[in-house]
A and B are shown apart, each in its own frame.
Chain A
Amino acid sequence: MKLEMGHINITDIKFASESKIEDGVLYVSEEAVKEIVLEDEKLKSVALDIAKPGESTRITPVKDVIEPRVKVEGRGGIFPGVISKVDTVGSGKTYALKGMAVITAGKIVGFQEGIIDMTGPGADYTPFSKLNNLVLVIEPAADIKQHDYEKAVRFAGFRVAAYIGELARELTADETFEYETYTIKEGMEKFPNLPRVAYVQMLQSQGLLHDTYVYGVDAKRTLSTILNPTEVMDGAIVSGNCVSACDKNTTYHHLNNPVIHDMFEQHGKTINFVCQIITNENVYLADKQRSSDWTAKMCKLLDLDGVIVSQEGFGNPDTDLIMNCKKIEAEGVKTVIITDEYAGRDGKSQSLADADPAADAVVTGGNANQVIILPKLDKVIGTMDYVTKIAGASDETLREDGSLEVELQVITGATNETGFNKLSAR
């Protein structure tokens, strides 16, 4: 399957009477966007704001971060089964608006929404401080249930991202990249001497604010399965979770999955990048066993030599991670696993809840419990009301001088386990 990806570089976002993209600047009609958000009567109101790199701005509570894209040529549309109709995506031509994101924020649904600082020490720990962000601060209608609120905001974010992406349809890309994977037979014939490698992506699937959707299907209802890696570039996998802001995979992470990119870089040179395998992280032990059995079974069936396994979340999913690792290694397929750590504020506690000697090749996104002081910033997009309640914060978070004492846990994307960042630990 081959996908041509065009990058449209966005250098600024401005509000204007008409939405368009011109010379790298995104002009947004607030009215048009509000209409799109408030299509859903479960949402009462929305306020739009723009946050640019270097500004003394804090965005919180952050739910999802989404990169606007548009399918220019070929089958299907962005976010199949969610915004676009169900159709197999990942081929043809797609444009991505680089240098920007749509962020959904507002009153919390649960305890694990995050903070993005556009400047200061906090900005070093999130990739989103480097983007021009269009923030949607959404307010739910009174009396709606948590599940409904979460869903409404999730879809609103995708609708807006699709709308913005659509503005790029007629443009010419600033840069173009090609990604191609082959069928089993094609790949073997083309690269007979290269190690056969796949990317095993674990998806958080544990309920409210802990879910992920694949072509619109709730991942907790799936059996481990195979994808062409280019499918996720068109939004085949979207986020419905905040497993702790630091290691949640935002939709932005899914669209820009770095394991996929770095594997493509080596594809045809040092490896044959065969496919992507997705597997879930459910709350029942039998499901964990079934999913990991299935993943290992597929690794063997595909005659893989090695895989990179990325986790999402921590705690009980550490068991899914170790099960996947152990079982895949037992099939004679070598693994490298990417995780993050909860080693306590002093770094002395054991980083993972589960362990096995088979997991001898680990890449870490860092210790999420590390404490950081986030200085008071001039502007807050959203509300500081929940800042002591989100995971990684505490009663002691708000200090007298207005700064926040928090763990990296609260920063969206800080210890991401797809290996998005350079943060590590030893």
Chain B
Amino acid sequence: MVKEVERAGIPVVHVCTVTPISMTVGANRIVPAIAIPHPLGNPALDPAEEKELRRAIVDKALVALTTEVEDQTIFE
């Protein structure tokens, strides 16, 4: 789906845990997530901390969207 959105001309960032799949399949902007069942969360944290964690990942996603890339890039 990521490649189709890109093909339509919209910059897109893929937030996912299994970044190797994203790399193999060909996403250009990739942000690593926490875990498969909760990519933007961590139930072990308390809600406030968890939201901060989520915010940090979304922040990185925005950085990815505002950064020019030529090749596939993982924004750690």
A interface residues (Cβ-Cβ under 8 A, vs B): 206-207, 283-285, 288, 316, 318-319, 322-323, 353-356
Contacts and interface: CB of A to CB of B under 8 A. Distances in A.
B18 A285 contact: yes
Taking chain A's interface residues, is the majority helix, strand, or loop, or is none over half, making it mixed? loop
A332 B30 CA distance: 32
A356 B21 CA distance: 11
A285 B19 contact: yes
Interface residues of B, number: 12
A353 B21 contact: yes
A353 B35 contact: no
Given A283-B17, A319-B21, 5 more contacts: A206-B36, A284-B17, A285-B17, A353-B21, A353-B24
A355 B24 contact: yes
A207 B19 CA distance: 20
Nearest to B17: A285
A187 B20 CA distance: 38
Contacts of A316: 17-18, 21, 36
A288 B17 CA distance: 11
Contacts of B32: 285
Contacts of B36: 206, 283-284, 316
Contacts of B37: 206-207, 283
Which 7 pairs show the lowest CB-CB distances between chains A and B? A283-B36, A316-B18, A283-B35, A319-B20, A354-B21, A353-B21, A319-B18
Interface string B32-49: 101111000000000000
A322 to B, nearest CB: 7
Tell me which of A206, A285, A354, A356 has the highest count of chain B C-beta atoms within 10 A of its own C-beta: A285
Given A316-B17, A316-B18, A319-B18, A284 B24 contact: no
A354 B20 contact: yes
A284 B35 contact: yes
A323 B18 CA distance: 12
A349 to B, nearest CB: 12
